A = this chain, B = another copy of it.
């Protein structure tokens, strides 16, 4: 009888079902079209459950986002990357996953980014995630520069900003056009980055 799963205020089981359902629907319908009824139905709980577990629709959707991101962001794998080349491989895998299995999470991310302009909590959280990501990339770039793999003339911060933008931009464009040659874009990125080395 795990105490954490059924004791205390708020039944975590139902909350999580609602969170998962909400995350799916945000990705499928877009944030603004999600209704509390649709969420409850997909979660397999009655509509009234929403009122009990959340203060309102916006809290439900926001929490669903944050929970989904909290589970899915792979900070550990990230720490094991050796350099930019590994990073681009990593991005490639992420993009392919994001376009195959994880479509829900991918779409959710863009919906959340849009909504973040209207929801302070969401904005702070997403800004922090992006900042962490960029900081990790900066470290990778500096490591490669120390090893002579990347030109020391590059601004590590600038390159990190650029790389983060490329990743999300490619994902966004690929969602819009499934025929887009993502690999071609990434290959170009790799070539361009390392063209000036020895």
Contacts and interface: CB of A to CB of B under 8 A. Distances in A.
Interface of A: 29-34, 107, 110-111, 113-118, 123, 126-127, 130-131, 151, 153-155, 157-159, 161-162, 164-170, 172-173, 175-177, 180-182, 184-189, 191-193, 195-196
Nearest to A181: B161
How many copies of this chain? 2
29 contacts: A29-B32, A30-B31, A30-B32, A31-B33, A32-B33, A107-B114, A107-B117, A111-B114, A113-B172, A130-B176, A151-B195, A154-B191, A155-B188, A157-B181, A158-B185, A158-B187, A159-B192, A161-B188, A162-B166, A162-B170, A162-B189, A164-B169, A165-B166, A165-B173, A165-B185, A166-B169, A167-B169, A168-B169, A196-B196
A47 to B, nearest CB: 20
A85 to B, nearest CB: 14
A173 B130 contact: yes
A192 B162 contact: yes
Which 8 A/B pairs are nearest by Cβ-Cβ distance? A32-B32, A158-B188, A169-B169, A165-B169, A32-B33, A161-B185, A195-B196, A158-B184
Nearest to A196: B195
A177 B127 contact: yes
A113 B174 CA distance: 11
